[in-house]
């Protein structure tokens, strides 16, 4: 299979996430909770030339349709991403990311003294600001380093 074929190869059923900023593909997978251990077939194109973004990443996930809620969380790191839901090789739905008001259980708080980082039965919860996120427990605001907070557990 050539590079070109890999990039454009169609999936039968699943989700194609396009126009991800270059270098963020693995963070996209982390956000939607895919690390390969579930057996999903995933193909990733990194730093593909793009008219809009210069370099972009593309993520294709077979046999998994992302929900609108999952898609919205992607807005934190890939605000211009486009999402195609594919059924039987055809694009059956196009989704655009929109910023959610709150993201729960996706990011972990960078404040080591935050109650959510302890052995307590709570999920992290962040309010989404226009230019960052804010922990719903300790109020810590994170602006530029959001991808660093993605919970890989």
Partner 1 sequence: MRHDHLIGANQLSRADIEAVLDRAAEIDADPSAFADAHPDALLGLCFFEPSTRTRMSFDTAIKRLGGDSVDMGTVESSSVKKGESLADTVRVIAGYTDGIVLRHPSEGAATMAAEFVDVPVINAGDGAGQHPTQTLLDLYTIRENAGLDDLTVGVMGDLKYGRTVHSLAAALTTFDARMHFVSPESLRLPRNVRFDLHESGAVVKEHTDLDDVLGELDVLYVTRIQRERFPDENEYREVAGEYRIDADALDAARDDLTVMHPLPRVDEIASNVDETDHAHYFEQAHNGVPVRMALLDSML
User: How far, in Å, are 13, 19, 32, 66 from residue 62 at the CA level?
Assistant: 6, 18, 13, 11
Using the minimum distance from each CB to partner 1, give the nearer residue, 24 or 124. Answer: 124
From the list 109, 133, 142, 149, which residue makes contact with Zn ion (rule: CB under 5 A)?
109
DSSP 8-state assignment for residue 150: B
Q: Which is nearer to Zn ion, 133 or 135 (CB)?
A: 135
Distance, in Å, from the CA atom of 89 to the CA atom of 13, rounded to the nearest integer, reads: 6
* Positions in the binding site for partner 1 (CB under 8 A): 111, 113-116, 118-122, 134-141
Judged by CB under 5 A, which stretch of 23-31, 70-78, 84-92, 101-109 contacts Zn ion?
101-109
What are the φ and ψ backbone dihedral angles of 70, each rounded to 5 degrees?
-65, -40
Shorter beta-carbon distance to Zn ion: residue 97 or 109: 109
Give the x/- contact pattern for Zn ion in 58-97, rule: CB under 5 A. ----------------------------------------
For 47-59, letters b (16+ CB in 10 Å) and e give ebebeebeebbbb
In the block, residue with structure tokens 């898609």: 71
Through-space distance between the first and last CA atoms of the chain, rounded to whole angstroms: 33
Q: Least distance (Å) from Zn ion to the CB of residue 114?
A: 3
Give the H or E element holding residue 26.
helix 25-31
> In this chain, which stretch among 25-33, 53-61, 75-83, 109-117 interacts with Zn ion, using CB under 5 A?
109-117
Looking at beta carbons only, is 90 or 139 nearer to Zn ion? 139
Q: Which residues of the shown chain bind Zn ion in the complex (CB under 5 A)? A: 109, 111, 114, 135, 137-138, 140
């Amino acid at each position: 299979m050539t590079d070109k074929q890999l990039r454009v190869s169609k999936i039968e059923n699943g989700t194609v996430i396009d126009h991800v900023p270059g270098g963020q593909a693995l963070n996209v997978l982390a956000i939607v909770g895919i690390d390969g251990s579930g057996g999903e077939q995933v193909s990733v194109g990194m730093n593909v030339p793009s008219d809009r973004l210069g370099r972009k990443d593309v993520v294709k996930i077979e046999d998994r349709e992302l929900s609108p809620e999952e898609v919205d969380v992607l807005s934190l790191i890939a605000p211009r991403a486009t999402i195609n839901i594919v059924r039987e090789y055809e694009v059956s739905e196009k989704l655009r990311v929109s910023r959610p008001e709150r993201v729960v259980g996706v990011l972990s708080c960078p404040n080591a003294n935050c109650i959510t980082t302890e052995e307590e039965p709570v999920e992290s919860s962040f309010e989404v600001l226009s230019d960052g996120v804010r922990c719903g427990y300790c109020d810590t605001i994170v602006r530029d380093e959001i991808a660093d907070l993605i919970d890989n557990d």
